[in-house]
Structure 1
């Protein structure tokens, strides 16, 4: 049974309005709920390693003081060869599931980081799983023997927290994007950088920019490895905590020479990009210009019942190019298939 204490904590977490609120609840309430000596929330970055540790308790104090040692020895921790920490599964796991307390205490990691304060067992859970940030919930046990009830409560809280953090991240993205758009003194060209390192236009100003600067059948602009590295390095500093990011400026050439681009990373791995441009926002029938000329040509033929292959022959391009444009159309119209895209496209043409 999860018990009343679990539901009280779950309800408090559900009402939390920030990542820090969630952390405070976990480190204060979880030890009593599952019998752990200390709960620690640790944030990690693919570039800088462990980058944040919750500011509570003796173990967290040791970890903060030894953060350089933690990052230096993390790869040699004996559990790293037995668990994929990037994808450990939906539920939590205990270190004792994979190695003995003696093996852990005798490891270089435990000796150099904790010394005589090394715990007998640790439970781990992945709170945030993202390309750009991860966060783990670590519960340290002085004595061996984690109970079945402790595991059940840990897993239940873990799943609750994940849902709340997803909501908090989405709320933050909506808030800062809205502030940027409403606070702009000129129209903004809005793009997003997907996980394939492709820059895709999202609004009328961005499509107009792409049509004037990109090749006719360039549905997206692929970043070079150097550009990707530059963006990743700048955005690594954008995170206030593992679920909350703010804008960072990065200079990129998206077809018009070096341009200062406002960039906001998301946990999905995508990046929202904006920069001021001249022009005006479309209204009514003009809203269909959120698509490029080529994409409108393709959608006109799709609306006539043509297949991708038939549209490709008519337009003198390859079927793969047609499909790539259709992928961009789905993104810009917010749909998932060509039937929905056709309906939305026709509505836009009618000014609906």
Structure 2
């Protein structure tokens, strides 16, 4: 696999996400949350209602229904803004569906569009004006009750631009801009988070391998996953100048295998992507640790539809599967409705009923 293809896997940051369950189970979960929220206090009631709306939009996005996903986001945003100015906690919740539109664009492969959304939101907040988001005007003037509250919302949008903006620019292959974005927003740091990773890849892309390798070595990882990603980046730098060794590769694989000893369902996709990247970096390495990692990646993906989809799309892993493994993963992806372009009628009716019930609870 060529270096550019491997580069597109970065940044790799361990963040929790809902597990890839069957579509019927996800819709049933929304119904349960919506039904149980009515007895809570006002603050918790609104939070749970937002959870229903956000997850419903994610389901629509996963099922390749972008128009429905956007509609659900705007409905949630509009429900909040009917009563502006909002207390700061409600203002943060009101902006989440708009930020989710940027994340939907990232999932759809539109890094340029996602960055435009994130950057536009922050600039509008800082200038206390409005901005256009996929054909809609979003007015950030007077959203909250006080200047201090507005500053807190601006910080929320800054954090979103820092993390999701780096991913969006990387997805678009705009590595130098991603690095400049991280530096400008004080997002490089010493840990191996989004900003530092895109800066390292940008250095490799422009041929400054020594500086990139030094940044990897000077990283101060705080968690096990950062050590695994540091191993990937170290080998990536070495291979860029043709000096990678089996010793370096073995160390990278063993560090990656450690991640699979902690099977947290909320990070299954992250582990899968780290494992696939390690395997991509070992194309000419045929030793036993690579086979162990291959098995670990495939086994780990068997319980999560998102991870199964990733593995099914990886040529070397797919060719290494048994027919039974392939059928099981395909069945899981199909049951989750990923990329299907439709939601079965009964489930769609159920989903929209939960959304309507949640929306009625959204007024803070």
- TM-based fold match above 0.5: no
TM-score in terms of structure 2 length:
0.23
Structure number having the greater helix percentage: 2
Q: Which has the higher contact order (CA 8 A, sep 6+)?
A: 2
Looking at CA atoms only, which structure, 1 or 2, has the larger radius of gyration? 1
TM-score in terms of structure 1 length:
0.23
